[in-house]
Structures are given as structure tokens and as C-alpha cells.
Structure 1
Amino acid sequence: MERILLALASAVLMHFGTGLHPVWWLTWLAPLPVLFLARRAGRGTAFAAGTLVWLAGQAQMWPYFTRTLEMPPALAAALIAGPALCYGLGVLLFRTLLVRGRPLLAAAAVPAVWVTTEYAMNLAGPHGAWWSLAYTQADFLPVLQTASVTGVWGITFLLLFVPASIAVLRPRAAVVSGVLVALTLGHGFVRLATPADTGGRKVALVATDSFEDLVRRYGEAVDTAVARGAEIVVLPEKVFKTADLPFARPGVEVVAGIAMETNSAVSYPSGVRYDKHHMIPGMEREFRPGTSLAFLDGNRLGLIICKDLDFPGLVREYGKAGVAALLAPAWDFDEDAWLHSRMAVVRGVENGLAVARAAREGWLTVSDDRGRIVTERYSDRTGMTTVTATLPREGSATLYIALGDWAAWASAGLLLLALGALVCTKSSGSVSESPTGGTTMRPPAPSSV
């Protein structure tokens, strides 16, 4: 009964700490119960418990995958079950290293497995870093600043290392965890003490969820925004079906989302065009993907579209170019509006730039290079929604721009180290397995890890 309650507790915490509307502080707690379960469970039980916890926590994504994103059920099942198996393997590796007398390595193995899984899905899948646990912390700004150093990978590592270091019940692991948390928060508060750069141009985001008389209505909304001082106006993704639009205004750049043979963002009157690189599988198969970046105002402003902000490597190219802000037409699905807007916010923190993202069926959001929300408002079903903000004049350098995904590769190396430790300790005699799969601890050889 105790094991069932522990697994159930982790599943409930996982449900509310992840998904489309996560409660950020529950994400830190979610692994704890199942890791405590694994301490005294057999190998099969530990693996099964970890797998079932993830399955139960992520079952909430099934309607979103199959109905909203129109995924085939088999693919949706694979996208839930595959990571569940990896989570189960992480719990199993934790249990095995712990009972073999390697507590610190056991604590580190849990995040190493998961960061490696996230990074592999980022490189090999069509959805980039969409799967990262790090987005759950998008509104916890001190921790979010870690993305400027490690990308999302460092945040994910912390989210799992902290509870795992508690679960091993060893002072050394707790000290290491405490030092990492202190450094993380200290770094975060120092970055957040830097005032926002508001020396750039004034931007207006304009959107409506309506499909009626859009050329006229957006034209009027642009004129209103310009009359109020906007120098840049960003409209949502795929609003129009032709590039022949009457949006040229003297001294103003109007960025409009246009669905042609490409899914494009076109700026008027300059004619600068950005073609979306990454399409939603199945839903945007008719569009030809783009391959290049697009800039306005020298290299100060970059154009990007919606889903492309899910890909850290693509946005990092803008960071390396010294862009101060990205202008992003977008189209969300209502239910994923918060999560998708926060993915864009995290890309801004990683690369030291502001993001002005105009979404229909979602949030119109301007965030700065620290992830602070400058202004935000939800799109209106029938009327026009407009928000305005001042963009920064310059971008800020980050270690992530310089070093890229080093934290993901370090996690992969740590995973290899943990697997190597299993081979080295297999015959150490520190653990015996009972016939029922339980474990009996013998006095292990002294080890610092």
C-alpha cells in the first residue's frame, strides 16, 4: 500500500507540475515520492513505478496531441510512452547506483537520463525543445536566468537533481544540491537587478481571432497604433493569403503573417521576408520550409514565426548575430497559449534578446532579455487587441550564445559515467538481490560519489 501511495503521489504532482498549465513549484516535488519508493524496491518495481508515474502524469496531453495537433493516435502514444520508459530507466538507475553505494552519482543520474532524453528529442524530432521541463519555471524568474548560461538543459537538470539529492538521504548530496541552488538563485537575482533596456523603438502587437474583413480591420488597427507612436507593428501568423497588402506606412515597419507557398512574415514597406523553418507535422505540410534568417534595422531586429521559437539552435543564430529583439507573428490553439508564449520568453533569456510575439488564439506578449513580461494581453474573439512596448536598443551577450548546448552534452557524459560506474561496482559485493527482487544493503566500500 505504501508503494502505491508513493507512486500515486508522484503521478498527481507530475500531472499538476507539468503539461500545458504547470504549477512551477510542484515540478520540483514530483520526483520525490517515486524516488523514495525506489530506495526500497526491487529493480522491476522501481522501473515500473517510474514509467507509470510519467504515463499517469502526461495522460492529460492525449487530447491535445490527438485533437488539437491532429496527431495519429499511434504517434501520440509513442510520444507519451517513449519518454515514460526513459523516466522509468532514470528511476531504475537511481535505485541501482544507490544500493551499490554511489549516492551522489545516483542523484546525478536521474537528471542526466532526462536531459539526455530531452536533447535527443530536440535534435531528432520535429518539435525541437518543446518537451523540456524547463518551461515549467518560466514564471520563476530567478531560476529562469540559468537559461542564459546553460539553456533549458541546466534548468531541467536542477529540477531533477534537487529532489534526487534529497531522496538519497546523504549529507554530501544535500550539500552539493544546496550549493547549486544557492548559486542559481544568486545568479538569478543579480541578473534581475539589471534594469531593462528601453532605448529602442516602440512596437505594437495587434491581433484578433476573427476571420472577417481582415485587410481593412488590420489596416485601421495599424493606423491607430501608429497614431499612438508605434514605429513597428506586428500582426499574427497566416492572417493573409497574398503579399499584396496596403500596409506601407512612412517611417513604420509592419510585419504581417502570410500563408503562400511558404508560411511567411513579410515586413512593409521594406519587403524583408522570413519563411518559417519548422512546420507543425501534418497540419502545415503544404508549406515549403525556409532556410535563412531575416533582419530589420540593420541587425537589431530579427523576424521569426511561432513554432520556430521552439528550436534553441535556430534562435541562437539570431543571438550570435547580435539581435536586440525578435518580431514573431504566431498562431496558438488557446489551450497551449501560456506554454507556447513562455517558450518564446525562454528563448529570449537564452540569447539575451527581447521577444515581441503577436498571437491569435493566444497571448500578445513582449518580454525582455531577462524573461520579464513587459506587456501582455489575450487576443479577442471578435475585436482587435493591441499592446505596445519599447524594445531594447541592444542585445546582451550570454554564455549560452557562446557555448551553446554544453550542459546537454555534459549531462550525456554524466550518464555515461553513471553507466560505467554500474559496470565497475557490479561485482563489488555491496548489494545482494533477494529472490523477490528486493535489495539487502551490505556495508559498501567507502565512496565519495
Structure 2
Amino acid sequence: MVRRSRALDESRGSFLPNDSGDEGAAAPSVPVRGKRGVRGEESGVLGIRERGGAGAGKSAGKAPEKGRESRERTARARAAGRWLWGTGTALLVLAVHSNWHLAAAAWLFPVFLLRYARLRPARHGLLRVGYALGLAQLAWLISTGMVFVPSVLAVFAVLAVVQTLPFVADRLVAARSGSVSSTLVFPAVLVCGEYLFTRLAGFGDYGALGFTQHGFLPLVQLASVAGVYGVSFLVAWTASVAHWAWRRGFRWREIRRGVVVWAGVLALVLGAGGVRLVAFAPTTKTVRVAGISAGRAAERATERALHTAGEELWRPRNLVRADPRRVRAALAPVTDDLVAATDREARAGARIVVWPETQARVLADDRQLLLGRVAEIARKRQVYVNTAFALHTPRPPYVRNVAALVTPEGKVAWTYDKTHPTPMEPMTPGKGAVPVTGSPYGRLATVICYDADFPGLMRRAADQGTALMMVPANDWAGFESLHAQRAVFRSVEYGYAMVRQSVHGVATAVDHQGRIRGLADYFTADRQTLVAEVPVQPRTDTLYSRTGDLFALLCTGGTLLVVALGVRGRRARAGAPGAGGGRP
């Protein structure tokens, strides 16, 4: 590729020298030959030419001055590089899906980090970009309290490397092409990394850039076609196009075609999303759903009893070996409160009641007693109750994470074990069969908390025609909103409504287009109760539920093509005349 002079780049408005090579250090002097032999030299960071011949001595006299100018320009270039990296890193921290994230930051941070990586020597620039991504992940881990979990640290270290790969591809492959099609490299590799991380890391779809846009409903509708990966792609492509235009000094004649194509795609996506929200909004009747949690006083009473017994009864192994009568007395305040709240909400008109994950704790011998109490309420009030509790068993690992649906007939329609326990939960995982049952309000299904972060598992419910997904959950301070926001995407992707009752977090009811129908924050109420009128209708069929991760697979194929082109280009350069070890 023909290298542009650095002086030309600066005259066109670049912050730093051109981005076609190792711009971080001064370039070596290169003779420039013309009709009269050696005409001069291109040297220094900005490519200042020193002419030969009769003016050589005069130029030599000005060498100290030129050297000083070169050093000043180098210092300015490095300062600009620090500004690019600092701005990109600050925006990146704000873009990580967290309690403090800003949706706009996700569109902006790649622009600055792409620019930085292009304008520094490849190894140095990409290492600094990877360092920025690692800092952002560390900030997230600290804020969520998971920084001390070794397995989580290891997984997120891998995630930081995966998130660096799009910048590597842009720097080493896309930089060699000036066409607008090169802007597709960055988003394609980004989506490929998100998809492979989700499939292989066993940590759900954490790290997907698209989740930061959960409140931008016209854009979120794209998930019904391509999943959250489609949203990630569009956000990343926007940044790539902005950087491509920046490289060209935002000169309209040069960037017009690319910008028009990008703007047309963005307008089509947002326009179609807006039409979907209006033209296909829920119009059928609704069902009253209540999500309940035990009150804080009941929680405190149980925790006090478990921690002051002198035997660490809060540990599952110790709890199942202790005196059952004392254990029942310790656990009773929470379970009694949940049963009473179920009856209260059913009397108030709720037709479906959802419990939170593991707030109730039950000995294996007492399971039928608890379900019998709930069944009496279900028959009397004609209500569906999706109970959830930690079931303490006499065999290792001594606890199961269970949801059991009690029908208006007083029967237990299912008992479901959590398929994906978190790294902090020493529980035996379930078999991954999502239970679904019919009701007057559409087909009902359940998963538990972290399960909803696995798109493949949630698709199994869609395949069975689920209209309402019930998700008992249990979050914590620093993490309270994240799962609730991700639930928006699962509903849009698969076309079903979702009620997510999260103790120690934010409980939400979401319709099939991602609208929030109800919300209750555990940390702002003494007794968290979610009450919502949820639209009742057959599951909305979506393209994503039919084609699955086809779009992500196409991006993966594009990434393989990018790798092949990069290898081919490297071999061609190695074999070029004059290259070390190449053919003459």
C-alpha cells in the first residue's frame, strides 16, 4: 500500500501521523529518487523533506531547528495519543453494562480507541487498547462484588482478550483498505467474539455490547431478527463508520457514499422498529400478575436465627445436620410471609403469583407441607402460583435451586431445577428441560435467574409456544438492575412476555416488545411487591426464534474471511521483492 506522507495527513486534519504503519516512532530517513537522482529525503515524524544539491549545506545549518520542531511535533502527537486513549477508556467504562452505564457511550468509545490503535505502532497500540478493556472489566467486577471470585476473574480476563480482537482485526486488516466495506470488519469480528464467548465460556451472553441499548426500543426490535448480536453489530458499525470518516477529515465528497449507506441502514432499522412497536402493539386482554418477596423484617428474623445458633446453620451442610425443629423455626418467618403474601395478592385479584429465587428455604421433609399450604390458596383463589425455594437435601451438595408451579386445581404442574447455577452457587444443575404448561392465559413456562442469560435455553421455551415466561430471581446490590434490563432482549428475541421477580434486585414485567409493564425495586421498599397487567396473547413468532443465531454465524464466517485475508496479505508482503527472506 502506498504510504501517505505524514505532513499530508496533518494538513488534512488528523490528530496524529498517518495510520498506515508504525506511527508512534520517528520514521527512518528514506531517499526519494527523481529524474535528477537523489532529490531529497523524507525524514522525521511528519515527513519533512530536506532537498539535496546546492541547498544541502543551507539545510544542514538549520538541522538543530528542524530537530527541535520534530521533537515538538512528536510531543504533540504523543499528547494527542494520550487524549484519544484516555477519552476512549473513560467512555468504555461508562459503556460497560452496569448500574452506571450510559447508552450513548457504547456508540462513542470505539471511535476513539480505533483511532488510537491506528495511530500507534500495532503492538503498542493494541496492548494499550486491551489494557483499557481489562480496566473496564475490573471496574465492573469491583462494582458487582465479584472481583474476589477466582473463576469469574479468569472468565472476564478471557473476555477482555476476546473484546480486543475486533481492534486487532481493524488495525491489521481493515487498515489496508480505504473502502467503506472495510468498516464491516470491526463489527463482524466483535459479534463473532460475543457469539463464541456465549457458546464456549459457559458464562452466558455477558459482554454483549447491545445490552447497553435496552431502553432504546425502536433499536431493540432488531433483536427479533438477529438477537442482541444485531444490536451489537449496528452500534459497532456506527463507530467504525465514524472512525472511517474521521480518517478522511470528514470531507463530504470522500465519505458521502459510505455515510449514505450507513444512514440508510440505520434509518431502515429504526423505522421498522418504530412501525413494529406501533402496528403490532399488544391489543388483547391482560392478566394481573403479582411478584412477591418476603418483607425485610421476616428476612432479618430468619438470618438472625441462622447466624446466632452457634453452628453456622447458614451453611447448607450444617443446616441439614442440625436439629430439624430448630431449623424449621429459623426458616419459618420467610416462608410464612411468602405464603401470606400469596393469599393477599390472590385476594386482590392476581391470577398468577411468582415467588423469588431461594428466598424461601425448605428442608426436603417439609417440601410437601409447604406446597400443600400453597395448593390450598391456589384452589380457593383460583390462581397459579410459581413457588421457588432452596430445597435442602441430606446428600451433597445439600441444596437444590427449585421452582414448582401449583395450579388452580391444587396440583404441582412442574418441579424445575436451575439449569445454570452461577459460579457462586455450589448446586447440582438441572437437566435443561424448560417446563411449559397450558393455562387460560396462554402457555406458561419458567427458568430461574441466571438461566435467562443463555439464549439457547430460552429458545426451548419459545419452541413450545410459551406466552408468559416466569423467572424467579435473586440479585444483589451493585447488580440489581442488570438482569432486569437484559430480560427486555429475551422477550423481544422470542416473542413472549416475561415476569422476573427478583429479591435483592429490580423485579420487572415486560411485554413481548420490551415495554416495561411493571417494576419494583427491593432497595426502595420495605416489602417488594410487583403488580402488573401483562398482555395475554399467543406467543409472537419472531424471525430470530426460527433462524436462531444465523446472523452471528454469518459474522463468524466473515471473521474467518478476515483472518484468511490477513494471512494472505502477510505472506504476499513476505514474498515481495526486497523483503527479508522473500523471493527476488
1:101 to 156, 177, 197: 177
Describe the shift of the 1:353–1:127 C-alpha distance in structure 2 as closer, same or farther (beyond 3 A): same
1:220 to 340, 352, 359: 340
1:24 to 98, 103, 111: 103
Does the 8 Å contact 1:50/1:84 carry over to 2? no
What secondary structure is seen at the aligned counterpart in 2 of 1:322? coil
Find the counterpart in structure 2 of residue 447 from structure 1. Answer: none
What secondary structure is seen at the aligned counterpart in 2 of 1:202? strand
Question: How far is 1:202 from its partner?
Answer: 2.0
**Residues 389-416 of structure 1: per-residue CA shift (max 9 Å, x gap):** 2342211000001000011101111111
Find the counterpart in structure 2 of residue 338 from structure 1. Answer: 481
What secondary structure is seen at the aligned counterpart in 2 of 1:148? helix
Paired amino acid for 1:138 = H
Find the counterpart in structure 2 of residue 204 from structure 1. Answer: 290
Structure 1 residue 417 and structure 2 residue 417: aligned?
no
1:177 to 242, 262, 265: 262
Distance in 2 separating the partners of 1:108 and 1:78? 30
Describe the shift of the 1:139–1:156 C-alpha distance in structure 2 as closer, same or farther (beyond 3 A): same
Find the counterpart in structure 2 of residue 86 from structure 1. Answer: 162
Listed as ranges, the matches of 1:366-385 within 5 Å are 366-379=509-522, 382-385=526-529
What secondary structure is seen at the aligned counterpart in 1 of 2:500? strand
Find the counterpart in structure 1 of residue 400 from structure 2. Answer: 262
Find the counterpart in structure 2 of residue 398 from structure 1. Answer: 542
Higher relative contact order (CA 8 A, sep 6+): 1
Describe the shift of the 1:114–1:301 C-alpha distance in structure 2 as closer, same or farther (beyond 3 A): same
Describe the shift of the 1:420–1:105 C-alpha distance in structure 2 as closer, same or farther (beyond 3 A): farther
Find the counterpart in structure 2 of residue 6 from structure 1. Answer: 84
> Higher mean Cα deviation, 94-103 or 261-270?
94-103
Distance in 2 separating the partners of 1:417 and 1:230? 54
Question: How far is 1:96 from its partner?
Answer: 2.6
Q: Which runs of 5+ in 2 are unaligned?
A: 1-78, 246-254, 302-332, 392-398, 577-584
Does the 8 Å contact 1:331/1:362 carry over to 2? yes
Find the counterpart in structure 2 of residue 235 from structure 1. Answer: 355
Structure 1 residue 311 and structure 2 residue 454: aligned?
yes
> Higher mean Cα deviation, 309-318 or 175-184?
175-184
What secondary structure is seen at the aligned counterpart in 1 of 2:425? coil
What secondary structure is seen at the aligned counterpart in 1 of 2:264? helix
Distance in 2 separating the partners of 1:177 and 1:219? 55
Does the 8 Å contact 1:205/1:233 carry over to 2? yes
Does the 8 Å contact 1:55/1:81 carry over to 2? yes
What secondary structure is seen at the aligned counterpart in 2 of 1:287? coil
Structure 1 residue 60 and structure 2 residue 136: aligned?
no
Structure 1 residue 296 and structure 2 residue 437: aligned?
yes
Structure 1 residue 133 and structure 2 residue 209: aligned?
yes
Listed as ranges, the matches of 1:34-49 within 5 Å are 34-49=113-128
Find the counterpart in structure 1 of residue 494 from structure 2. Answer: 351
Paired amino acid for 2:433 = S
Find the counterpart in structure 1 of residue 412 from structure 2. Answer: 271
Distance in 2 separating the partners of 1:83 and 1:424? 27
Distance in 2 separating the partners of 1:409 and 1:303? 28
What secondary structure is seen at the aligned counterpart in 2 of 1:334? coil
Distance in 1 separating the partners of 2:457 and 2:503? 23
**Residues 299-341 of structure 1: per-residue CA shift (max 9 Å, x gap):** 6111111111001111111112111110111101121121111
What secondary structure is seen at the aligned counterpart in 2 of 1:14? helix
Describe the shift of the 1:384–1:182 C-alpha distance in structure 2 as closer, same or farther (beyond 3 A): closer
Distance in 2 separating the partners of 1:377 and 1:143? 25
Distance in 2 separating the partners of 1:351 and 1:104? 33
Distance in 2 separating the partners of 1:57 and 1:3? 19
**Residues 177-216 of structure 1: per-residue CA shift (max 9 Å, x gap):** 2222112101210111132244243211111463241222
Find the counterpart in structure 2 of residue 190 from structure 1. Answer: 275
Paired amino acid for 1:295 = V
Paired amino acid for 1:275 = D
Determine what percentage of the aligned residue pairs are the same residue: 28
1:285 to 426, 430, 433: 426
Distance in 1 separating the partners of 2:425 and 2:571? 54
What secondary structure is seen at the aligned counterpart in 1 of 2:481? helix
What secondary structure is seen at the aligned counterpart in 2 of 1:30? helix
Describe the shift of the 1:60–1:247 C-alpha distance in structure 2 as closer, same or farther (beyond 3 A): same
Distance in 1 separating the partners of 2:261 and 2:567? 25
Q: Which runs of 5+ in 1 are unaligned?
A: 433-449
Describe the shift of the 1:62–1:209 C-alpha distance in structure 2 as closer, same or farther (beyond 3 A): farther
Describe the shift of the 1:103–1:54 C-alpha distance in structure 2 as closer, same or farther (beyond 3 A): farther
> Higher mean Cα deviation, 178-187 or 163-172?
163-172
Does the 8 Å contact 2:497/2:534 carry over to 1? no
Describe the shift of the 1:224–1:155 C-alpha distance in structure 2 as closer, same or farther (beyond 3 A): same
Paired amino acid for 2:546 = A
> Higher mean Cα deviation, 360-369 or 53-62?
53-62
What secondary structure is seen at the aligned counterpart in 2 of 1:135? helix
Paired amino acid for 1:236 = P
Question: How far is 1:42 from its partner?
Answer: 2.3
Does the 8 Å contact 2:511/2:534 carry over to 1? no
Distance in 1 separating the partners of 2:92 and 2:171? 20
Aligned length: 426
Find the counterpart in structure 2 of residue 112 from structure 1. Answer: 188
Does the 8 Å contact 2:174/2:182 carry over to 1? yes
Normalised by the length of structure 1, the TM-score is 0.89
Question: How far is 1:146 from its partner?
Answer: 0.7
Describe the shift of the 1:71–1:215 C-alpha distance in structure 2 as closer, same or farther (beyond 3 A): same
Distance in 1 separating the partners of 2:451 and 2:120? 43
Distance in 1 separating the partners of 2:509 and 2:289? 9
Distance in 1 separating the partners of 2:169 and 2:186? 7
